[in-house]
């Protein structure tokens, strides 16, 4: 039977939460099921991760998850990390969302794609909006780098984490990507 737990940890952006599963059909070692970026307060972060993961709070993460936490902390401090080797548990995502998440994980640090480009990569050129909706439900932000997917024309598009597009721009800036300022009418 799959067991799910979560743990809160501090980063340079605020308190984050991570949830992981163990013992399910998909994997035998711990796999990340949710990464909660900081909310306005630690209490809000904990409330969000507890609600979204349905997990119990853990006093300490297993070693593999502790390593993920270290990578997340380093990344958010500006020491860019590669998260593609981290085991994730996407059992609760539908088939299309899993395809979107797998395609997003292939976007290298410092690179971006548009929702339309990602849709074309999946062989579904008219599915840009569906790609955006799937990324809006991404449970493992940063590890599944939905922040690297932009709207057409290099605009940030939406971002479901606290702070919205400003947080997305900040995460991209950590990776060396600067978004173009919006055009203004004179």
Helix, strand, or coil here: 35?
strand
d(CA 22, CA 87) in angstroms, rounded, equals 11
d(CA 143, CA 126) in angstroms, rounded, equals 26
d(CA 171, CA 33) in angstroms, rounded, equals 20
d(CA 119, CA 132) in angstroms, rounded, equals 9
- List the catalytic residues: 146
d(CA 126, CA 145) in angstroms, rounded, equals 22
d(CA 169, CA 151) in angstroms, rounded, equals 13
Strand ranges of the sheet holding 31-36, from the earlier edge strand across to the other edge: 31-36, 14-22, 3-11, 56-57
């Amino acid at each position: 039977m799959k067991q799910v737990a979560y743990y809160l940890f501090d980063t340079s952006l605020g308190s984050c939460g991570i949830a992981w599963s163990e013992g399910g059909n998909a994997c035998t070692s711990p796999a990340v099921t949710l990464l909660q970026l900081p909310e306005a307060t630690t209490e809000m972060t904990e409330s969000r991760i507890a609600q979204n993961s349905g997990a119990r709070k853990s006093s300490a993460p297993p070693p593999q998850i502790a390593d993920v936490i270290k990578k997340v902390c380093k990344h958010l401090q500006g020491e860019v990390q590669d998260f593609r080797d981290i085991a994730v548990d996407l059992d609760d995502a539908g088939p299309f969302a899993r395809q979107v998440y797998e395609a997003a994980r292939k976007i290298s640090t410092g690179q971006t794609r548009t929702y339309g480009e990602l849709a074309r990569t999946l062989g579904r050129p008219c599915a840009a909006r569906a790609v955006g909706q799937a990324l809006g439900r991404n449970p493992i932000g940063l590890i599944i780098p939905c922040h690297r997917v932009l709207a057409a024309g290099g605009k940030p598009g939406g971002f479901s984490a606290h702070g919205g597009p400003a947080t997305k721009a900040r995460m991209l800036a950590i990776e060396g990507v600067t978004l173009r300022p919006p055009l203004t009418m004179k």
